[in-house]
Every structure is written in C-alpha cells, then in structure tokens.
Amino acid sequence: MRALFVGRFQPLHLGHIKAILEISKKYEVIVVVGSAQESYTVKNPFTAGERAEMLINEKNFKGLNLNVIPVSDINNHAIWVKYIISLLPKFDIVWTQNPLTKILFEKEKFKVAAQEIYTNEYGKIYSGTDVRNEISNRHEDVWKNMVSADTYKFIKMIGGDERLINLTSLTPGYF
C-alpha cells in the first residue's frame, strides 16, 4: 500500500524526516515536493531539484521504498487533487497536517490521516519557516540542529545558507 506525503521541504527538516519514517513503517511513501516551480525567494530558496536531492540523499531514508516527485502548483483548488492523481502512481492514503489538503482529498473520497507533530527537545515544533529564519539571521548553531546532518552538509555545499541570507537582504522586512 502507498501513502502520499506532500510538502515544500524548504528545507527538509527533522519533523519531515520523523513523519516520513513513521509513515514508512506501514506504507511505501510517495513524497510530493510541492511548489516545484518556486525557487530563489525568501519563502522558497531551494529549487525542486535541490529539495528532491535532500530527500533522496537522506541517510535516514536508506532502504525505504520512497518515491520523490516534484509537482508544480496549479493554483486551482477545485482541480488540484485530480491534477495530483494524474501525475502520480496510485496511492491509498494521504498523510497531512494541512487543513486545506485534508479537505480537498477527503472531498475526493480519499482516506486522510494526520501525522504526529514533531518537536525538538525544548518542545518547539519543527518548521521550515523557523529553519529559514535561523539561516537568514546567521544562527548556524541553531538551524544545523533543526535539520539532519545530511541536509546541513547539502545546504552548505550548494551555498544555500548564503543564498537565503542574500535573498533576505533583498527583501527587507520579510520576516
């Protein structure tokens, strides 16, 4: 059986990793890298290829049956689920915490389950927005503990942290 897990992965963080590992205990996981057309912005600094690479190269996922598929936005909620279905292999369940995703898939008669919300040792929820904020604020000692070692190395290798810092400087008052 297959489960669908949709996210932007801007960037892949420990909450995503924990959710995918939990889902993979019961299902083959199809990971949709959403907003694939978005990159080089403060909200979406990484390309779809970079985000897919973060997922594919994640050592925590070695041995998992994981399908990673970038999907561009169509900005039409009425047909979004049908669009997703047309692009992907068949799946049996959708895992999400996103209320809109839940509503849209349930409307099309899909079973939808909510994955656990994962937090760090201080009880703070893992969030891509928080990771990007910490990168933008040059808090490397903080953000490197919000992502896996593999994701941290990848972001450093591609200069993703400096890219985001530069993008943030071009968008004053964004955060």
Q: What is the pLDDT of residues 3-56, one digit of tens each?
A: 999 999 999 999 999 999 999 999 999 999 999 999 999 999 999 999 999 999
The CATH number that applies at residue 113 is 3.40.50.620
Range of the domain at 67: 2-170
Tally of domains in the chain: 1
Running DSSP on this structure, what letter comes out for residue 27?
S
- Among 50-54, 77-81, 109-113, 166-170, the minimum mean pLDDT is found in 166-170
Within a domain: 164 = yes
Is the sign of the CA dihedral 125, 135, 95, 25 positive or negative?
Answer: negative
Can you tell me the distance from the alpha carbon of 8 to that of 31, in angstroms, rounded to the nearest whole number?
Answer: 10
User: Would residue 73 count as lying in a domain?
Assistant: yes
The predicted structure's pLDDT at residue 173: 58
Is residue 175 one of the residues assigned to a domain? no
For residue 115, is it within any domain? yes
Query: How many residues are present in the chain?
Result: 175
Using a 10 angstrom Cβ sphere, with 0-12 exposed, 13-18 middle and 19 or more buried, the burial of residue 63 is exposed
Count of beta carbons in the 10 Å neighbourhood of residue 109 = 7
Query: What band does 123 get if pLDDT is binned at 50, 70 and 90?
Result: confident
Are β-strands 66-70 and 28-33 bridged in parallel, bridged antiparallel, or unpaired? parallel
Asked whether residue 22 is assigned to any structural domain, the reply reads yes
Is residue 46 one of the residues assigned to a domain? yes
Bond from prior residue into 45 cis (ω within 30 degrees of 0): no
